[in-house]
Amino acid sequence: MTLSSIISFSMFALAAAISPGPNNIMLAASGANYGFRRSLPHITGICVGFSFLVIAGGLGLGSFLHNFPQFFSILKIIALFFLLYLVWKIGTASSPEISKNQKPIPFHTAALFQWINPKGVTVVISAITAYLDAASSIWQALPLIVVIFVLATAFSTCVWTILGTLISEFLANKKQRIIFNIMMAFALIISMLPAIMSM
């Protein structure tokens, strides 16, 4: 990749990572409900899961999904049901019915979710198609693409979690926290609308 390609791709990766989507909305809610430190496994899971998705995309997943779009539709359906479960978890995070021992989304769940996250899969396919085809060698370009994506993802996930943590100061009242969680649950549904509408 040339320097101009690296700069262009870095801007693309950062814009894709920091824009509102399922991961960022869940992290804002996690930061508000559990704080930054307890949300670290969630952050790490996203970064690790997404980095492996990028590697898989570079090694052929993107081409496979492009040639067999029905599998992408199946991924979207799985993601929809999983997100509905996460919507319930977020929406009821401070509900009296939920145990006080409730924990934030763990590392493995966050990592596995990257493989069915329509936004993430679409971003990877777009990046591989736009930037990797022009590379002289996949083994030269792919490691750089992975590093840039991981740095952009780590930055954006931390920013969204910190924003959620800052919001938590205004959510000391239990009623306000429940309202916030319900709003974040609806925001998560809205973030999925483009994928749902394209099914």
Does the predicted model carry a pTM greater than 0.85?
no
Q: Which domain holds residue 64?
A: 3-197
Q: How far apart are CA 9 and CA 131, in angstroms?
A: 7
Residue 104 has a pLDDT of 86
Burial class (CB in 10 A: 0-12, 13-18, 19+), 97: exposed
Per the rule left: phi > 0, alpha: psi between -120 and 50, beta: everything else, 35 is left
Condensed to tens digits (0 to 9), the pLDDT of residues 1-33 reads 678 878 888 888 888 888 878 898 889 989 988
| pLDDT the model gives residue 97 | 44
Residue-wise pLDDT for 62-102, tens only, equals 566 667 767 767 766 776 677 677 667 666 665 444 445 67
The mean pLDDT of 104-130, rounded to a whole number, is 84
- What is the crossing angle of helices 174-197 and 69-91, to 10°? 170
CB 15, CB 156: distance < 8 Å: no
The number of residues making up the chain comes to 199
Query: Which of the two residues, 108 and 97, has the higher pLDDT score?
Result: 108
Share of the chain above pLDDT 70, in %: 71
Classify each residue of 178-192 as buried b or exposed e, where b means 16 or more C-beta atoms within 10 Å of its C-beta: bebbbebbebbbebb
Other beta carbons within 10 angstroms of residue 117's beta carbon come to: 26
Give percent helix, percent strand, percent coil of the chain, each to the nearest 5: 80, 0, 20
**166-184 pLDDT tens trace:** 887 776 667 777 777 777 7
Assign 191 a pLDDT band (cuts: 50, 70, 90): low
Q: Are 44 and 107 in contact (CB under 8 A)?
A: yes
Total number of domains constituting the chain? 1
